Amino acid sequence: MNKTWIIFKREYLTRVKKKSFLLLTLLTPLLFAGIMFLPAYLANRESQEEHKVAVLDRSALFLGELNDSKSTNFHFIQQEEFDDVKDNLKDNEYYALLEIPENIISANRVIVYSHKQINLDVKNHIDDELEGNLENKKRTELIERVGVPDLEEQLNNTRTSISVETIKLTEDGKGKKGSTEIAMGIGFAAGFLIYMFVFIYGSMVMRGVTEEKQNRIVEIIISSAKPIQLMMGKIIGLAAVGLTQFLIWVILMGGIFIGAKSMFIDEDAMQQMAQSQSVMMSNNEATAQIMENIEPDKIQQFYEQIQGINFTQIIFLFLVYFLLGYLLYSSLMAAVASAVDSEEDMNQFMIPITVPLIAAIIILTNVIKNPEGSLAFWASHIPFTSPIIMMVRIPFGVPWYEILISIAILAASTFGAIWMAAKIYRTGILMYGKKPSWKELGKWLTYKS
Amino acid sequence: MDFFNIENVSKSFSKHQALTDVSINIKQGQVFGLLGPNGAGKTTLIRIINQITAPDTGKVYFEGRPLRPNDIHQIGYLPEERGLYKKMKVGEQALYLAQLKGLSRRDALKKLKYWFEKFEIQAWWDKKLMELSKGMQQKVQFICTVLHEPKLLIFDEPFSGFDPINANLLKHEILKLRDDGATIIFSTHNMGSVEETCDHIALIHKSKKILDGNIFDVKEKHKTNTYDVVYKGEFEALQRNLGAEYEIITHNESERVNELTMKYLNSDSHNDLLMKIAKNAQVVSYSERIPSMNEVFIQEVESNNLKP
């Protein structure tokens, strides 16, 4: 049996079988989903609760004019009741007490008393209702005063709202709904995930090599297998662990995504949306009309736009960039780990290796705002940053030849790094006692095996 | 035909010369002692045999033909600085190392069962290595070294870390392996164990081989014609008989016997000496001082240190 394979198997199985791996792999998506959906879920629940708000209207402008909402009920009270309600807010039926002053039109301010800090929904509703009411009143008064009969209508006509709908044209001329925000989100997630994977699994390689060297098991193993087999078995084994984790995440996230979809969106709306989409393909004019009628809410829009993204391409390129980037960095880390005896000496060599990785994360925020800029272009071609930066750019759309060139440069550099690492590793793994210099590492490259 | 030949091997690491023109012949079934002070080049030589490193110049032959990569399956190596994966289970770990030596999983399991029973350590199979004591870990390492039944075994300081009982057990096992046909290279500083186990030694010092030969011949070559004699009789008469051919080192007279340590300058035959002493004295005991390997080692290394 091939020895690299035997080593690969050990590296893979010992890690995948660990409880901590299983726990982390299974819990992360759940945690992630929790962070995403829990606030929405809670907000949803909260708003179903009714809050009774007592209103003392000294201006006498609003009696019967304030509309209740799902969560807020207005209940007008008299001046005599005011003190009683205010003093007993803690125990009585009212959630809050709204006091509208006589001079509300000029003062533009009201007071809300409550025992607890009132929630945002209630506050917003009070705000909206009062504003809307006052605005209407002022406008009616104004129209009466100036005497232009259709002023109301004219004013309404000046109101403008533009919805910017981005449609990305694909090669075959078909339009696709896109969203800058979602591309940003996915780009950021993909870039950051690569950064994390490379960092976490690269340091696992490093720790593995250090462990073998410090345990002195390396001498036993390389009297059975070649150093390069040990190094590559370890690196590839850990890559497989990373891919396994990623795969489980993709499957779990997909499950959560679909589950959440059915929870938040009812079937009818989905069907309508599908119809509108098919109509849009053939007739853009008519679509506008239909879209206006349906008025899809935010979540639906989100799902619609997410469906416009080519996940197959993104996942495929993610795997390519993850593997190449990981191989590039982990082979360098393996080389460094093989050369030094102690963790302290490691830092001197680790810093130059991690600097480009961290630089990529810093560049990332810039690239995400301007994915077509020259910084983005160069950073997505330089092999040390390209795995992260190119992944950020891809959801925005990158010409295929740019991707190809970037992958080619990265692959060539990775190959070179592995070659170099193998040479350093072979010598370093058996060197004990002294801290080598960069110059010495360079010399090892020229040693005969 | 020699079993393992190293011919004119040199190796250097940048400025450091690790081996200079070293040649060694090891015969089938020998226990070959590879001796030398720290840093002499023993480990480099062992690494060359294990094909961990290649010599700069010189040739290495195994069973009469140049050493090949696959020959590592015929070699078992127990390094001086040895360790195993601390968090891996003993059984899994032994299986892994056996598979790396080219054994199939099934063969490895069968053989491991045999050895674990022999050392009565079946209960360790599912324990993590870190749960074992150092001596216990060494036993596991020993099993991993010999499991694939190599033709050539290399032990580098095998007894370090063992208590006397286990060291004895180990020595017994090593000699048994030799009896079963294995050839053994034995690298150690413990000259006592060299004398007990080795047939042949080579001494390496400052990258060069300075001594090589059968252990009996080597000692014979290093003897100084010093004799310990215990006798009854008169010292003066004895002195007269010996004439000018001796040099007295110590002489103790007591009530019953006298003890004499002397160097015989005419080194032809010690039977002559015995006869001369016996003429006037009654010999209680008579023995020639044969140097221990320890003395040979120190003498050789120190005399070589004096050389420019």
pLDDT average, residue stretch A118-147:
83
pLDDT at B72 over 80: yes
Q: Give the integer Cα–Cα distance in Å for B264 and B226.
A: 6
Q: For residue B81, which residues of chain A lie inside 8 Å, CB to CB?
A: 216, 219, 432
Q: Are A220 and B96 a contacting pair at CB < 8 A?
A: no
Helix, strand, or coil (residue A409): helix
Q: Give the integer Cα–Cα distance in Å for A391 and A403.
A: 10
- Tokens (6 digits) for A192: 């950051």
Whether residue B107 is found in the same domain as residue B153: yes
Whether residue B177 is found in the same domain as residue B86: yes
Whether residue B71 is found in the same domain as residue B108: yes
Q: What does chain B look like in DSSP terms, one character per residue?
A: --SEEEEEEEEEETTEEEEEEEEEEE-TT-EEEEE--TTSSHHHHHHHHTTSS--SEEEEEETTEE--GGGGGGEEEE-SS----TTSBHHHHHHHHHHHTT--HHHHHHHHHHHHHHTT-GGGTTSBGGGS-HHHHHHHHHHHHHTT--SEEEEESTTTT--HHHHHHHHHHHHHHHHTT-EEEEE-S-HHHHHHH-SEEEEEETTEEEEEEEHHHHHHHH---EEEEEEEE-HHHHHHHHTTSEEEEEEEE-SS-EEEEEEES--S-HHHHHHHHHHHEEEEEEEE-PPPHHHHHHHHHHHHHH--
Q: Give the integer Cα–Cα distance in Å for B149 and B145.
A: 9
pLDDT at B202 over 70: yes
Ranking A22-26, A162-166, A349-353, B53-57 by mean pLDDT, the lowest is A162-166
Q: Give the percent of chain A with pLDDT over 90.
A: 27
pLDDT value of residue A233? 95
- Tokens (6 digits) for A272: 């309508």
Q: Give the integer Cα–Cα distance in Å for A37 and A56.
A: 38
| CATH classification at residue B198 | 3.40.50.300
- Tokens (6 digits) for B156: 């580098």
Neighbours of A25 (CB within 10 A): 18
Shortest CA gap B256–chain A (Å): 60
Confidence label for A404 from pLDDT (cuts 50, 70 and 90): very high
Shortest CA gap A268–chain B (Å): 56
Alpha helix (H) ranges present in A75-179?
79-87, 104-107, 120-146, 151-158
Report pLDDT digits (tens) over B260-276.
888 877 766 667 778 88
pLDDT at A284 over 60: no
Shortest CA gap B163–chain A (Å): 22
Whether residue B19 is found in the same domain as residue B92: yes
Q: Please answer whether residues B1 and B169 qualify as being in contact, where contact means their C-beta atoms are separated by less than 8 angstroms.
A: no
The β-bridge partners of B273 are none
pLDDT at A272 over 60: no
Q: Give the integer Cα–Cα distance in Å for B136 and B124.
A: 9
Q: Give the integer Cα–Cα distance in Å for B102 and B70.
A: 9
Number of domains in chain B: 2
Region label for B21, one of left (φ > 0), alpha (ψ between -120 and 50) or beta (otherwise): left
**How many residue pairs bridge chain A and chain B with CB atoms within 8 Å of each other?**
61
Whether residue B140 is found in the same domain as residue B255: no
Whether residue B138 is found in the same domain as residue B32: yes
pLDDT value of residue A291? 45
DSSP letter, residue A200:
H
- Tokens (6 digits) for B94: 């032994």
Domain presence at residue B205:
yes
Whether residue B230 is found in the same domain as residue B212: no
Whether residue B193 is found in the same domain as residue B68: yes
Whether residue B191 is found in the same domain as residue B230: no
Q: What one-letter code names the amino acid at B178? A: R
Q: Please answer whether residues A424 and A335 qualify as being in contact, where contact means their C-beta atoms are separated by less than 8 angstroms.
A: yes
Q: Give the integer Cα–Cα distance in Å for B62 and B49.
A: 9
How many CA within 13 A on the CB side of residue B285?
10
Range of the domain at B68: 4-220
Q: Please answer whether residues B236 and B68 qualify as being in contact, where contact means their C-beta atoms are separated by less than 8 angstroms.
A: no
Domain presence at residue B297:
no
Q: Are A225 and B100 a contacting pair at CB < 8 A?
A: yes
pLDDT average, residue stretch B30-48:
89
Q: For residue B52, which residues of chain A lie inside 8 Å, CB to CB?
A: 219, 222-223, 430
pLDDT average, residue stretch A352-371:
89
pLDDT at B141 over 70: yes
Nearest C-alpha in A relative to B88: A14
Q: Are B50 and A1 a contacting pair at CB < 8 A?
A: no
Q: Please answer whether residues A336 and A349 qualify as being in contact, where contact means their C-beta atoms are separated by less than 8 angstroms.
A: yes
Whether residue B11 is found in the same domain as residue B149: yes
Whether residue B190 is found in the same domain as residue B241: no
Domain ranges of chain A: 3-35+181-444, 50-147
Q: Which residues of A335-352 are buried (b: 16+ CB within 10 A; e: fewer)?
A: bbbbbbbeeeebeebbee
Nearest C-alpha in B relative to A230: B100
Nearest C-alpha in A relative to B81: A216
Report pLDDT digits (tens) over B106-118.
999 999 999 999 8
Average pLDDT, chain A: 81
pLDDT value of residue A292? 45
Q: What one-letter code names the amino acid at A128? A: D
pLDDT value of residue A172? 55
Q: Please answer whether residues A343 and A209 qualify as being in contact, where contact means their C-beta atoms are separated by less than 8 angstroms.
A: no
Which sign does the torsion angle of CA A441, A447, B3, B5 carry? negative
Q: What one-letter code names the amino acid at A20? A: S
Q: Could you name the CATH architecture of A50-147? A: 3-Layer(aba) Sandwich (3.40)
Domain presence at residue B282:
yes
The β-bridge partners of B226 are B263
Which uninterrupted H or E stretch holds A177?
A: strand A175-178
Q: Give the integer Cα–Cα distance in Å for A125 and A197.
A: 45
Whether residue B105 is found in the same domain as residue B254: no
Ranking A127-141, A258-272, B21-35, B86-100 by mean pLDDT, the lowest is A258-272
Shortest CA gap A343–chain B (Å): 18
Domain presence at residue B275:
yes
Q: Please answer whether residues B218 and B201 qualify as being in contact, where contact means their C-beta atoms are separated by less than 8 angstroms.
A: yes
The β-bridge partners of A111 are A99
